[in-house]
A and B are shown apart, each in its own frame.
Chain A
């Protein structure tokens, strides 16, 4: 049990998908202007990521490996991800039109969110078991949501600040993201003991 907890913690904080592995920066910068949007994006990504890690694990172990066609891995994974994202899009559109509008283009773009494919591929690379894969995916997604919310909070404060014109907008956003990343590096200290 403690092993699973550790895995969850280390994927969410120590090996944070956005700030340590630098995956999924597109939606990280794109949907971090408003809290609702960031939370919605985090939830949607969590949903997609958890489902796809499960789906891709099954695909890898029950289809690609037995048939010896591992070279089709990226193709097959992207297909799975696209299908899950499509499904998520339909669900959100039905349940919350406003959130659908808020997420806008970033919702279909979860397909190309490198965090999703990245986690799936990392799972294969590290030869994780099914349970481990699932937790790896879920933990990363929780980490993604966490930094989305943190960063959105920072950007809301940032919108009040009198930023010098040369830095205003995206530049100061990247500077802040870099600082946040530095802060997350500190979690690496948790692992050494």
Chain B
């Protein structure tokens, strides 16, 4: 199959062999699980159980709120012991509303609806089941999958692209799931294709994963699923880039893949979909790469959602060298954290403990306008110019240069010879713009409220004046009547 060229991109050292050589291992059941209510993009889920309730494995413990949200299920059987704030895997280090589940070790499943022939289901039914299973995009974006399926079906998506790129260094969880569970993944892919009525189904896998490509090709035999090998490059696994490589089409600025008739899902999501449809199992566990030079035995584990990261680090044999940086996700786009009690979320693809030499931190120095970042940018932006505008707080100027199209892949920061934290600038600017947007919205609502109040006060005044006038008229009429009566009696 003809592949299309990609602009920019970088080739960071893979470090994938650290964890890719071993099979997926099962994590022993942790004593406590910490289930954040915000594991997806959108509104936090609302708890439906109380502290002290006993829950079964797979039972819904928090339901979706509003359109963009996802339900959360109990990853094991046990008792809800707390409902409060707990550290969250977020760069701010802030706490988030979290449920604590003490496992009872019985792993007692709730009754799950199994489907004998999932391919006989209606597309809307598949999406509904995916939604009920609380599945979100497992590639890291954590967008509720059911919503994405429905939106895509409604907008007439032609092409389904399954993202097996996994371009982030260190991460091998998608590689492993494709290697070991190819049949289930392919079935999940076919179910997603059925749910969105896609005509073409492509699976893009980087060519540094030959085993995964072979396994997937084997499993896809006789189906309409086409497995494509793509050149290894960062950020191949980004939605916009994988579409560009496989279809040659570029998503318009500010647009979505559905605008050009494409839907992109991660291969791990496909596995979760297959489990949900075929066995009725909600998304309660995922495969996580635990890697980094600081660990004794880097590996891939299947861990329950809500497992504290410390358990994963212990499972990987603890530290071999002091870890200078702990990262959730990949080293390019992942989030740093310090507290190892943070729980694994649905979107956590990796836990990395990196040594000082791997981090290679250096002081930033002034920009010499070498434009290395411009060559590296996969979106075709001018990172140096945008950063210069942001530095002098000219965010509008940065937006004019295309800040909103930045995918925050980190290629520019990675190649910058002056070690300027370019992505940090962009993240700051995006956050600040969002905050400005929020305050503008608030201002508009304030204006409306103030106007409504002025109007109400005027109305009350008017009503009061009218009532007073009425009273006065009534009093005068009475007085007149009394006077007339008096006159009449006098006359008589």
Contact = CB atoms under 8 A, between A and B. Distances in A.
| A–B interface present (Cβ within 8 A) | yes
Interface of A: 159-162
Interface stretch (B8-16, B115-123, B131-139, B386-394): B386-394
Task: Summarize A's interface: helix, strand, loop or mixed.
Answer: loop
A123 B388 CA distance: 46
B254 interface: no
Contacts of B366: 162
Interface of B: 366-367, 385, 388-389, 391-392, 394
A36 B30 CA distance: 64
Contacts of B392: 159-160
Contacts of A162: 366-367, 391
B396 to A, nearest CB: 13
Contacts of A160: 385, 388-389, 391-392, 394
Nearest to A161: B388
Contacts of B394: 159-160
Contacts of A159: 392, 394
A162 B364 CA distance: 14
A173 B394 CA distance: 19
A137 B392 CA distance: 39
A162 B388 CA distance: 9
Given A162-B366, A162-B391, 10 more contacts: A159-B392, A159-B394, A160-B385, A160-B388, A160-B389, A160-B391, A160-B392, A160-B394, A161-B388, A162-B367
A130 to B, nearest CB: 47
B425 to A, nearest CB: 13
A160 B388 CA distance: 6
B11 to A, nearest CB: 30
A162 B366 CA distance: 8
B421 to A, nearest CB: 15
Contacts of A161: 388
Contacts of B391: 160, 162
A51 to B, nearest CB: 37
A115 to B, nearest CB: 31
A162 B394 CA distance: 14
A161 B392 CA distance: 9
B401 to A, nearest CB: 11
A161 B367 CA distance: 9
A134 to B, nearest CB: 40
12 contacts: A159-B392, A159-B394, A160-B385, A160-B388, A160-B389, A160-B391, A160-B392, A160-B394, A161-B388, A162-B366, A162-B367, A162-B391
Nearest to A160: B388
A109 B388 CA distance: 34
B426 to A, nearest CB: 16
B455 to A, nearest CB: 29
Contacts of B367: 162
A123 B367 CA distance: 49
A159 B389 CA distance: 9
Nearest to A159: B392
A185 B367 CA distance: 32
A161 B366 CA distance: 10
B467 to A, nearest CB: 45
Pick the 5 closest A-B CB pairs, nearest first: A160-B388, A162-B366, A159-B392, A160-B392, A160-B389
A160 B389 CA distance: 6
Contacts of B388: 160-161
A36 to B, nearest CB: 14
A159 B366 CA distance: 15
A122 to B, nearest CB: 40
B247 to A, nearest CB: 37
Contacts of B385: 160
Contacts of B389: 160
B99 to A, nearest CB: 48
A3 B480 CA distance: 97
Nearest to B389: A160
A9 B388 CA distance: 37
A160 B395 CA distance: 12
Identify which of A159, A160, A162 gathers the most chain B CB atoms within 10 Å of its CB.
A160
A167 to B, nearest CB: 14
A72 B149 CA distance: 85
B237 to A, nearest CB: 33
Nearest to B390: A160
Nearest to A162: B366
B366 to A, nearest CB: 6
A162 B391 CA distance: 9
A159 B391 CA distance: 10
Nearest to B387: A160
A35 to B, nearest CB: 12
